[in-house]
Amino acid sequence: MAEVDSADGFAGTPDAFQRLWTPHRMVYIDGQDKPIDAAMTSCPFCHVPERADADGLIVHRGELAYVVLNLYPYNPGHLLVCPYRHVAWYTELTEDERNEISTLTADAFRALTRASDPDGFNTGMNQGAVAGAGIAAHLHQHVVPRWKGDANFFPILAQTKALPQVLGDTRELLVRAWGGR
């Protein structure tokens, strides 16, 4: 749970800012689960499919790619569409992998619409660390549901997002909605 403290008791020059503490974000900032070795044996996107669906937060498995909830979501229902094969660049995908990622992305739009009726979506890939890919070694496409008014001052001022739903509950909603083509 985030905690808000007044700046009055801190060392240094007092200011008017409140402090919103989000220590759970350090896991992401410190790079937990990011591949660190040349062989990429620690790649989370390679290991997630080895887990049970609920444990790995997998929403759907395809033949060449799968859909998983983002552990560090921008919004509830933030999905990642990942090939099983460990490739970094879109140009390294086979035609069949590209087609399945495209199909799963469309299916993700439908499932998210059934589960939570968003007003729109952000979709895309960050290719390379310099372009913002948190795990650049394994390609993944983001599907982020958006609602009117879902942005507030937290992300802008505090690099913090208030999420009203835990990942397990979001996963259950999406799994049920996925099959309702």
* Calpha distance 68→79 (Å, rounded): 6
Phi/psi of residue 25, each to 5°?
-70, -20
User: Is domain 3-178 classified as CATH 3.30.428.10?
Assistant: yes
In which region does residue 18 sit, left (phi positive, over 0), alpha (psi from -120 to 50) or beta (all else)? beta
pLDDT digits (tens, 9 = 90+) for 1-38: 455 555 555 555 555 555 555 555 555 555 555 555 44
The least confident of 56-70, 82-96, 157-171 is 157-171
Half-sphere exposure of 119 (CA within 13 A, CB side): 6
Examine the residue annotation and report whether 140 is marked as an active-site residue of this protein: yes
| Closest to 137 in 3D by CA, of 126, 148, 147, 123 | 126
Q: Are 20 and 4 in contact (CB under 8 A)?
A: yes
Q: Exactly one of 60, 78, 138, 140 is catalytic; which is it?
A: 140
Q: In the chain, what are the domain boundaries? A: 3-178
